[in-house]
Each structure stands twice: as C-alpha cells, then as structure tokens.
C-alpha cells in the first residue's frame, strides 16, 4: 500500500523561501555605498571641470580627481549589481557582485603583503610619485593642496630633502631661472611660530641656497618619505584597524550575497521538484 513521501510536494520538510531580512539587508548595504559612489563621481567630475585640461593631463597619474572618479565608477557598477540583484533575486548579478568584491578583497590583501615584502621597491615607487607631484605642483590646484596638507601634517619638505623642490621649474635654482620663487620652497615647508602675530608667508624664499643646518632654523628640511615611514611604523595598530574596517564591509557583502544566492537556488530547485512530481504525487 502506497503512502505519501515525507519529501513529497506540499510537505513541511521541503518548504524553502528567500529570507526578506537577508534580501533587504543586502539591498540596503549596497544602496548606501551606491549613493556614496555617486557623490564621489560628482565631486571628481566637478573637480576635473574646474581645472585646465592641459594641466590635468600633465599629471594624470597623480590626479586626485581622476582617482576619485575611477573608484566612484567602479563602486557604482558593483553596488548597482548588488542592488538590482538582491531586489530581483537575480543569481547572475549577485554572482557578479560577489566575485567583484572577492577579487577586490584579494587584490587589497595581495597589495598589502607585497608592499610589506617589497618595501624597498614600494619606497622607490612612492619616491617617483612624490617627485612627479613636485614637478607639477603649480599646475594642479588639487595636487598642490594635497602636497601642502602632507607637508604641514608631517612637518616635512620635499621627497627626500628640501632641495627636491629644485625639480619644479618655479623653484629651480638655476641662475637663468627668471621666477621670483627661484631657490625657494612652498610656504607649507615653513616652521611656524605660534607667538608671532604676523605670519611671514615668504619664509620659504631662497631657502635652497642655505646649508642644511641654517635652513633648518626656518623650514622643515627632512623629506616627507622618511616622515611617512616613521609615521607608519608608529601607527601600525591604527592602520591595521583601518584596513580591518575596510575589509569588514566587503566580507559582509560577500557573506550576504552567498546566503541569498544559496536561498534562491534552493527555491528554484524546490520549484523544479514540485513541477516534476505534480503529475504523480504518490511516486
């Protein structure tokens, strides 16, 4: 005598569904970063439009506006896949979102490990970037503000030393340089005294012509690379916390997307099973 199987269609044991908590939590997660990506792209486009085209192209590799736009566009595409994929329960888009996050996470991890192992090569690369930024200092207002901020915060001047500023055509020390800033350094290199009522904004004038010790009475003579390395060594726990803070959202996104993908697959399998056995419920 035949009987109804426990896993037959309609029994409680084969009930499967997509959790609305996981679905809308993943959507909210992606929607927040989708909005952030739009803001980043908008800021990057605005900053780019405010510049002279030839100046922006001259230092494209270190242009903060371009970097902001590239990161914003990538975030927009990835989070768009996550938003639509979670709402529409689309496995293809969810897989794309999950794979992209996984690749980005692995690239960040690899970059951190390689940067630690090949620290000398990384230092050389950073030196080249800083020297290139010094060359284009007056051509890009965003780059200029970034360099000035770094020199003020770290109390440094130039890449390796303050005379690196001679690489810039305005601060070059050649005798035939007609610039009024010849042999000078930017104001951000200056050592500011809090007890002075009037700040001398020309304190960097002619500092490259002075000896290291003499110039040190007026400006920061040490380069920014050594200062940055020392700061990194002194703040390893802080940097580790920041890296962990960046990794956690990515891991959460990967986890939620995988949970949702598995739930959708289970639901599809159940529907296929029900359709297959609907004609013969006693089999």
Q: How far apart are CA 161 and CA 207, in angstroms?
A: 12
Output the pLDDT for position 49.
78
Q: In the structure encoding, which two tokens stand for residue 146, read together?
A: 């970034």
Q: pTM of the full predicted structure?
A: 0.67
Rounded Cα distance between 157 and 135, Å, is 14
The answer to whether the CB of 16 falls within 8 A of the CB of 247 is: no
CATH 1.10.1450 domain range(s) in the chain:
137-234
The CATH number of 137-234, from 3.30.1490, 1.10.10, 2.40.10, 1.10.1450, is: 1.10.1450
Look at residue 93 in the predicted model and tell me its pLDDT: 94
Output the CA–CA distances (angstroms, integers) from residue 18 to 8, 10, 53, in the order listed.
Answer: 20, 17, 51
Q: What is the pLDDT of residue 6?
A: 37
Q: Are 219 and 203 in contact (CB under 8 A)?
A: yes
261/254 Cα distance (integer angstroms) = 10
Please give the pLDDT value at position 8. 42
DSSP notation for 101-153: HHHHHHHHHHHHHHHHHTHHHHHHHHHHHHHHHHHTTTT-HHHHHHHHHHHHH
On the CB side of 127, CA atoms within 13 Å amount to 12
Contacting residues for 63 by C-beta, under 8 A, at least 6 apart: 48, 56, 140, 142, 143
What is the pLDDT at residue 51?
Answer: 62
- Contact of 198 with 171, CB cutoff 8 Å: no
Q: Which of 230, 133, 125 is nearest to 188 (CA)?
A: 133
Could you read off the pLDDT tens digit of each residue along the chain, which spans 283 residues? Answer: 333 333 444 444 444 577 889 999 999 999 999 999 999 999 888 877 776 544 444 444 556 677 888 899 999 999 999 999 999 989 999 999 999 999 999 998 888 788 778 777 778 888 888 888 899 898 878 788 889 999 999 999 999 999 999 999 999 998 888 989 999 999 999 998 776 666 777 888 999 998 889 999 899 999 999 888 888 888 878 878 888 888 899 999 999 999 999 999 888 888 887 787 765 555 5
On whether the CB atoms of residues 51 and 141 are closer than 8 A, the answer is yes
């Amino acid at each position: 005598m035949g009987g109804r199987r426990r896993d037959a269609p309609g029994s409680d044991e084969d009930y499967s569904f997509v959790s609305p908590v996981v679905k809308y939590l993943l959507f909210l997660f992606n929607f927040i970063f989708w909005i952030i990506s739009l803001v980043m792209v908008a800021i990057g486009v605005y900053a780019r439009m405010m510049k002279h085209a030839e100046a922006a192209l001259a230092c494209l590799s270190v242009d903060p506006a371009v970097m902001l736009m590239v990161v914003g566009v990538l975030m927009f595409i990835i989070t768009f896949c996550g938003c639509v994929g979670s709402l529409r329960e689309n496995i293809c888009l969810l897989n794309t979102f999950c794979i992209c996050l996984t690749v980005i996470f692995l690239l960040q991890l690899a970059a951190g490990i390689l940067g630690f192992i090949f620290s000398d090569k990384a230092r050389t690369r950073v030196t080249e970037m800083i020297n290139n930024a010094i060359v284009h200092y007056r051509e890009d207002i965003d780059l200029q503000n970034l360099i000035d901020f770094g020199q003020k915060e770290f109390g440094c001047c130039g890449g390796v030393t303050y005379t690196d500023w001679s690489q810039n055509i305005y601060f070059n020390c050649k005798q035939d340089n007609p610039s009024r800033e010849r042999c000078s350094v930017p104001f951000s290199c200056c050592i500011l005294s809090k007890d002075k009522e009037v700040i001398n904004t020309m304190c960097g004038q002619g500092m490259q012509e002075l000896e290291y010790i003499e110039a040190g009475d007026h400006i920061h003579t040490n380069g920014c690379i050594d200062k940055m390395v020392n700061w990194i060594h002194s703040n390893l726990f802080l940097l580790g916390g920041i890296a962990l803070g960046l990794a956690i959202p990515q891991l959460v996104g990967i986890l939620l997307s995988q949970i949702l993908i598995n739930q959708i697959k289970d639901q599809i399998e159940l529907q296929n099973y029900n359709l297959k056995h609907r004609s013969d419920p006693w089999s």
